[in-house]
């Protein structure tokens, strides 16, 4: 019985918020969808033990270690190991290393940048939708005051409820989204740092060979 009352109260509370809670809920779903997709993709690329990363960099810094390095990296599932193998193979074919890493950057980083921009736009839209609900609610409140009918008090309460509830939901969606964006930006920075470091190590190794 208590659970039924909780569900009933939740539905009534939702109804008081008006129709704008539907697009706010849709924005909330999209925010979580993009966040989870980006977080998982970035984590897979960054998921490499530091000792293996240091070993790759150390082998790149030594002369005559190409064969051993390629042997160690072949068949490995680590993202940065695959990048090193790809860069070495392209360099051995005579490709300019700068162009190779530009290609890697376009393929691996740019799509994440686009998704992050979409996520930021969604997070920014949530409080704006809440503010729009506030405007509609206050308009309803002023209309009720202007009518001066017997139902004025009820209509005013309804307008104020809509104004406050939509603002509340908009902020509840946006605030976690802001924290999520900061987490993703940190991971993006780590990915970019590792790619630039790999480019430097491979470039120096090619000059030594």
Share of the chain above pLDDT 70, in %: 64
**pLDDT of 123 strictly over 90:** yes
Cβ-based neighbours of 105, under 8 Å, separated by 6 or more: 195
pLDDT digits (tens, 9 = 90+) for 150-165: 566 666 666 667 777 7
Q: How confident is the model at residue 85 (pLDDT cuts 50, 70, 90)?
A: confident
Share of the chain above pLDDT 90, in %: 19
Cβ-based neighbours of 192, under 8 Å, separated by 6 or more: 109
Q: Directed axis angle between helix 2-16 and helix 152-208, to 10°?
A: 90
- Cβ neighbourhood burial of 138 (10 Å; 0-12, 13-18, 19+): middle
Q: How far apart are CA 97 and CA 38, in angstroms?
A: 28
Of 111, 102, 52, 101, nearest in space to 77 by CA: 52
pTM: 0.77
Judge contact between 194 and 46, C-beta under 8 A.
Answer: yes
């Amino acid at each position: 019985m208590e659970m039924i009352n909780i569900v009933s109260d939740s539905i009534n509370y939702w109804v008081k918020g008006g129709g704008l809670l539907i697009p706010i809920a849709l924005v909330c779903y999209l925010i979580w969808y993009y966040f989870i997709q980006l977080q998982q993709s970035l984590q897979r690329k960054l998921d490499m033990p530091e000792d293996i990363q240091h070993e790759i960099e150390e082998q790149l810094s030594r002369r005559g270690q190409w064969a051993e390095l390629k042997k160690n990296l072949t068949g490995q599932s680590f993202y940065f190991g695959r990048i090193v193998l790809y860069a070495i193979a392209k360099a051995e074919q005579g490709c300019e290393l700068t162009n190779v890493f530009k290609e890697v950057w376009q393929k691996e980083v740019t799509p994440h940048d686009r998704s992050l921009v979409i996520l930021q736009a969604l997070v920014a839209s949530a409080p704006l939708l809440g503010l729009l609900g506030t405007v509609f609610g206050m308009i309803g409140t002023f209309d009720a005051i202007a009518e001066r009918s017997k139902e004025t008090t009820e209509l005013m309460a309804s307008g104020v409820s809509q104004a406050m509830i939509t603002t509340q939901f908009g902020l509840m969606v946006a605030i976690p989204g802001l924290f999520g964006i900061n987490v993703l930006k940190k991971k993006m920075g780590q990915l970019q740092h590792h790619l630039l470091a790999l480019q430097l190590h491979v470039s120096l190794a090619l000059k030594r060979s």
